[in-house]
Structure formats: C-alpha cells, structure tokens
C-alpha cells in the first residue's frame, strides 16, 4: 500500500509498504479520510514529537475508515463498519488510570499512520477508543473527533464559570475549535457554564472572521497590536481575563497568556511547545495574584465520545475549518499550505 513516512524535519516520503494484518484484538481499516491538524504540521516541521512518535515512522493521526479485517477475538465489530479510531488509549490499570486521569497514563499507547491506504488499530484502542460513525455524518467531519476531544478536555480543565470573560490566543484549528465549543458547549456533565465574552486573538484576518462565525464576541489581529495584555485589561475593566487559553505552542505566547489574566485567573497552557523550551514567569505575580497555571495534554475516552456526539449533532459548522480535500499524493502540498497559513485543515483521501 501507499503510505506517508516521516524521516525528519520536513522530510516526508510516500512509499510502498506491506499491507497491515491484524493481530489478536486488532482491526485493519481502509482509510476513507484522514484530516491534517496543527500537531501534524508541528511534527513535520520539528521532525518528531516528544510523546507520539519518533522518525522514521508512519505519519498522521486523525482518521475515519471502514473495517476490512478483524483480528482473533474481535467480536464487537464487523467487516464494513465505518468507524472513527482515536489515536491513543490508556492502559486502564495504572496509578493514573485508577484515578481517571487517563491522559497521564505512562503506558498510553499511540497509533500513527492515517496518511495511508490502510491502517492497523492496536487492541487497546479497539477496546476503548473505536466508535461507530453515524450514517449521516460525513467522513471529513467525523475525522475531527480526536482534536475536538482534546479541546473538550481542555475546557473541562479551565475552571470556566458562568459569565466569565475568556481569551483564546491562536487562530489555528485548535483555537477555532475552542471558540466554537466555548460558545455552545455544556461542559462537564451538563453544567451550563458558558462565558459571557470570548475574545479571540490571532494573526490571520480570514481565520479571525471564521472565529467570529463560530461564536467569538470580538476578534483581534495581534500583528496590529503593540501590547496584547494591556488591550485585554482594557476589555475587562482593567483586571484581565478570567480564563486565558493558549493555543499556539509558542513559548513567548505562553508568557503573554500568563500576563493577560486577572488576579485569580486560570491560564490554560494548551499549545505544546518545542522540546526543551522554557519560559520566564514572575513568582510575585503567580503568588500574590493567585494564578492557576494549567498544562492540559491530549484527551480521554469520555471526551472522545463527547466530541463525536457534538460533531454528529451538526450544531456547530465545523466544516468552516476544512480548507479543501486532496489525494494522498498531495499530502506534502497540504502541509506546505498549512505552513504558509493558506489552509486550516485539509481532508486527505487516499
């Protein structure tokens, strides 16, 4: 089969590799659609990921497909079922899993290789994180389940209260998903805690316009601003935001996010920065302003299910995030388009 393999920084190669065969408890799917995301872009540009993969490796992690082969012992699925497979699953046995902190599982198994004609799904993911796709939900939307699950996980850890003023920094797919979910989502088992204002800061006017359509109260191009924290204080009666969500993965923006919160604020440092980077923070500011700095990583099986349910409801026009559709042989061009900010997400169809 044809598959994309990552060998290093911006070194992506399409190669013929053997078709996968399922071992005990595994399934193999024919890839219908694999969507690109900001993590793919970062991994391609950086040449790897601290947790998810090390080159040379199969590449891609958002997928919808049809089951073509079942491993021994798989009884809950049938050939032809259309499914979405999350790119990970926790062990369900360790210290963290016993406390339902699944994203901290040290044995979290990751699966890469969605940019290919076929994909093997490991047994733990088959058991815990494979879901049937509703018949009326398009592949390209269902494939967004994984990143949306990460966003819903992030919101659940952001301490948002009714009427809060929330700042989202970053107008990539994840930042825009945060805006959409914040504007419409009932967080944590139906407790309706929607913010009163959502301020989106980004660097692309077209993306900011999409953010407005998805529910942002006001949008701002930070390239046109000299002092983002000062403006946020002006917008919030001189105090700063109740909650700030950083969605760029740039260390200097982490510092901007921390400076943009009011005393008592929660700062969700969601965007993953390059390995071994550091930031500078004021100990006085954190202590006397009683700031809560949160690092939030990945997702959990509960949020994967919530994400697919939200996508299936069609209450949010997530199709606004899909720039176009390309065949697998044009994957590198899709990544180049993302690099130059000409594309948000691209649906890759082998």
Cα angle 216, 222, 223 (rounded to 5 degrees) comes to: 140
Q: What's the pLDDT tens digit per position in 196-216?
A: 899 999 999 999 999 999 999
Q: What is the DSSP letter of 340?
A: T
Mean pLDDT, range 51-60, rounded to an integer: 85
Mean pLDDT, range 299-304, rounded to an integer: 97
pLDDT band at 241 (very low <50, low <70, confident <90, very high): very high
pLDDT band at 47 (very low <50, low <70, confident <90, very high): confident
**Cα torsion angle, 115, 119, 124, 129, sign:** positive
Mean pLDDT, range 311-318, rounded to an integer: 96
pLDDT band at 8 (very low <50, low <70, confident <90, very high): very high
pLDDT band at 192 (very low <50, low <70, confident <90, very high): low
Task: Give the burial string for 263-299 (b: 16+ CB within 10 Å, else e).
Answer: eebbbbbbbbbeeeeeeeeeeeeeeeeebebbebebb
Say what the pLDDT of residue 49 is: 74
**Cβ-count burial of 184 within 10 angstroms (0-12 exposed, 13-18 middle, 19+ buried)?**
middle
CB 178 within 8 A of CB 158: no
| DSSP string over 301-313 | HHHHHHHHHHHHH
Residue 191 pLDDT greater than 60, yes or no: no
Mean pLDDT, range 282-309, rounded to an integer: 97
CB 200 within 8 A of CB 168: yes
**Cβ-count burial of 100 within 10 angstroms (0-12 exposed, 13-18 middle, 19+ buried)?**
exposed
Say what the pLDDT of residue 35 is: 98
Residue 224 to residue 203: CA distance in whole angstroms? 9
**Nearest C-alpha neighbor of 143 from the set 35, 52, 3, 41:** 35
Q: What are phi and psi of 168, to 5 degrees?
A: -110, 125
Say what the pLDDT of residue 48 is: 74
Say what the pLDDT of residue 52 is: 76
Say what the pLDDT of residue 189 is: 39
Say what the pLDDT of residue 183 is: 92
- To the question of domain 2-148+298-349 being in CATH 3.40.50.150, the answer is no
* pTM as predicted: 0.95
Say what the pLDDT of residue 170 is: 98
Q: What is 158-295's CATH superfamily? A: NAD(P)-binding Rossmann-like Domain (3.40.50.720)
Say what the pLDDT of residue 188 is: 40
Q: What's the pLDDT tens digit per position in 96-106?
A: 999 999 999 99
Count of other CB atoms within 10 angstroms of residue 33: 22
Say what the pLDDT of residue 193 is: 63
The mean pLDDT of the chain is 95
Domain spans in the chain, listed from the N-terminal domain onward: 2-148+298-349, 158-295
**Cα torsion angle, 64, 68, 70, 71, sign:** negative
Q: What's the pLDDT tens digit per position in 70-113?
A: 999 999 999 999 999 999 999 999 999 999 999 999 999 999 99
């Amino acid at each position: 089969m044809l598959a994309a393999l990552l060998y290093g920084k911006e070194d992506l190669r399409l190669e013929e590799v053997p078709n996968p065969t399922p071992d005990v408890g595994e399934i193999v799917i024919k890839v219908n659609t694999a969507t690109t995301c900001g993590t793919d872009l970062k991994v391609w540009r950086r040449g790897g990921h601290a947790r998810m993969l090390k080159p040379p490796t199969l590449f891609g992690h958002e997928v919808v497909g049809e089951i073509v082969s079942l491993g021994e012992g798989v009884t809950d699925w049938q050939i032809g079922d259309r499914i979405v497979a999350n790119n990970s699953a926790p062990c369900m046995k360790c210290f963290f899993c016993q406390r339902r902190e699944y994203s901290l599982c040290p044995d979290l198994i990751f699966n890469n290789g969605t940019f290919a004609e076929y994909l093997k799904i490991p047994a733990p993911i088959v058991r815990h994180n494979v879901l049937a796709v509703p018949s009326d939900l398009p592949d390209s939307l269902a494939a967004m389940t994984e990143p949306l699950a990460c966003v819903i996980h992030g919101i659940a850890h952001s301490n948002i209260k009714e009427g809060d003023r929330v700042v989202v920094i970053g107008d990539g797919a994840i930042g825009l998903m945060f805006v959409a979910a914040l504007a419409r989502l009932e967080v944590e088992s139906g407790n309706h805690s929607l913010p009163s204002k959502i301020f989106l800061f980004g660097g692309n006017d077209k993306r900011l316009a999409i953010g407005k359509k998805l529910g942002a109260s006001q949008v701002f191009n930070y390239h046109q601003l000299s002092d983002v924290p000062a403006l946020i204080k002006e917008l919030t009666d001189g105090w700063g935001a109740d909650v700030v969500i950083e969605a760029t993965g740039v260390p200097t923006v982490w510092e901007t996010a921390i400076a943009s919160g009011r005393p008592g604020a929660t700062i969700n440092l969601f965007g993953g920065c390059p390995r071994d980077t550091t930031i500078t923070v004021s100990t006085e500011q954190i202590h006397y302003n009683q700031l809560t700095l949160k690092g939030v990583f990945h997702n959990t099986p509960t949020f994967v299910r919530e994400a697919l349910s939200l996508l299936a409801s069609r209450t949010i026009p997530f199709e606004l995030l899909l720039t176009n559709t390309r065949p697998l042989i044009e994957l590198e061009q899709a990544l180049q388009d993302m690099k130059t900010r000409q594309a948000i997400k691209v649906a890759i169809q082998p």
